[in-house]
Amino acid sequence: MGLMKKMEDYLDDFIRPDLIAVEMAADDKEQAIRQLASMLEAQGYVKETFIDAILEREKVFPTGLPTEDIQVALPHTDVEHCLKPGMAIGTLKKPVEFIEMGTLDRIVNVSMIFVLTITIPHDQVVWLARLATLFQKPGFLMYLKQLGDAQLFSNQLIEALRMEKE
């Protein structure tokens, strides 16, 4: 309970509209991850080592999730590259290929990317589980993507995460 309470306290800093790119253009997963990770770096969420570290980790531990409606990816890396907890989110104009989490060869055509920066190792597992659970709700990801506005997206995601814990 203590960990969840603490995480709830920083939701508004964790999910911010200025870290959400709506209808982002990217030719491939590397370009998409670089764009989102650069947003985190510019806002002081991560060290300059973050971008290379997250791209290297993605090669070894893919993060694509074959969720219904819209497929997502949750790239993240070790806490040593992170300065404060947060998340950069991109909704893509056209899907890019990721490899499915837990495999080395299954392709997932991802339309939304959630790049996590976590400073406490255990929190990474908790956030991944929370987001994966939320993403399983029928129609939720489609609803978020269709909002087309970073502020609305942020508000609705925060609200859904708060409601999910009640």
Give the count of beta carbons closer than 10 Å to the beta carbon of residue 15: 21
In a domain, 158, yes or no: no
* Residue 64: Cβ-neighbour burial (10 angstroms; 0-12, 13-18, 19+): buried
Q: What SS3 class is residue 64?
A: strand
In a domain, 159, yes or no: no
**How many Å apart are CA 56 and CA 50, to the nearest integer?**
10
In a domain, 115, yes or no: yes
Q: What SS3 class is residue 8?
A: helix
**How many Å apart are CA 100 and CA 7, to the nearest integer?**
27
Note the pLDDT tens digit of each residue in 40-90: 999 999 999 999 999 999 999 999 999 988 999 999 999 999 999 999 999
* CA angle, residues 154, 55, 97, in degrees to nearest 5: 70
Boundaries of domain holding 70: 2-153
pTM equals 0.91
Helix H, strand E, coil C: the string for 70-102 is CEEECCCCCHHHECCCEEEEEEEEEEEEEEECC
Q: How confident is the model at residue 125 (pLDDT cuts 50, 70, 90)?
A: confident
Q: What is the CATH number of the domain that holds 93?
A: 3.40.930.10
Note the pLDDT tens digit of each residue in 128-157: 888 888 998 999 999 999 999 999 999 999
In a domain, 137, yes or no: yes
Number of domains the chain is built from: 1
**How many Å apart are CA 72 and CA 9, to the nearest integer?**
26
Lowest-confidence region among 7-16, 104-113, 114-123:
7-16
